[in-house]
Amino acid sequence: MALLVLVRHGTTQWNEQDLFAGWGDAPLSPTGEAQALVLGQFLARRRFKFDLCHTSRLSRSRRTLELILEGMGNLDIPTDQFWRLNERHYGAQQEKPRMAVAAQYGHRLTIAWRRSYRARPPALKSEDPRWLEQCERFSDVPDELLPRTESLEDGVLRVEPYWQDCLAPQLRAGMCVLVVAHTSSMRGLVRILDGLNDDATEAFRVPTAIPLVYELDNELTRLSSYRLHGDVKSRWRALKSRCKPTWISWM
């Protein structure tokens, strides 16, 4: 039997400032760092042991994993980073306050960029400093694969080669893998694992630093799946994530 544990990174400073993040390298906030460390301690108490760990190449994901492993008391687990696990790209809206974007473009369009499955925000232009910085940071990724903007669907589809070429073979070998990533990349993996349709994929939400656990057989058929809640704060985050978004609810 294989075990897959999916974790969204801890709360970031940009979350607390209500900024669009995407591929921007938002650091964890003190709250997010505490969430990750507590989660690692909780996983240790539950006797989780991982053969491998995967993260995106964004610092909020990498730092969350580092603190989880510190909390578990095991910093020696082999770890790989994958750009395909990055959050969906918010194009020209990255690093901007969400309410300022809504004031400029209207709530209806902003909500579509945020929540609908196929709407894409305006793309980054070639002369944009954010695009130039992205190209430098991901210089090893082929130019034709680097996004300038993405819909939720684009972010989901970007994960599929990672699943097929890397994660699925490891799970078929019976490994226990911890993946620390982002809402959109986790959405893509859950779509594959649970066979979600477009509407269910669009509706998928995940709170910060709360594990989603999958037990799989050798054919990667789901035997069981469940979320782990370690304390009252994590239960509140889980409950909040299930609330239906409104025009004023961006998360």
Q: Which residues are tagged catalytic?
A: 9, 87
Distance (Å, rounded) from C-alpha 249 to C-alpha 147?
26
CA distance 68 to 153: 29
Q: Which of 95, 106, 97 is nearest to 131 (CA)?
A: 95
CA–CA distance, 167 with 4 (Å, rounded to integer): 9
> DSSP for 195-223?
T--HHHHHH----TT--EEEEE-TT--EE
Rg (CA), the chain: 17
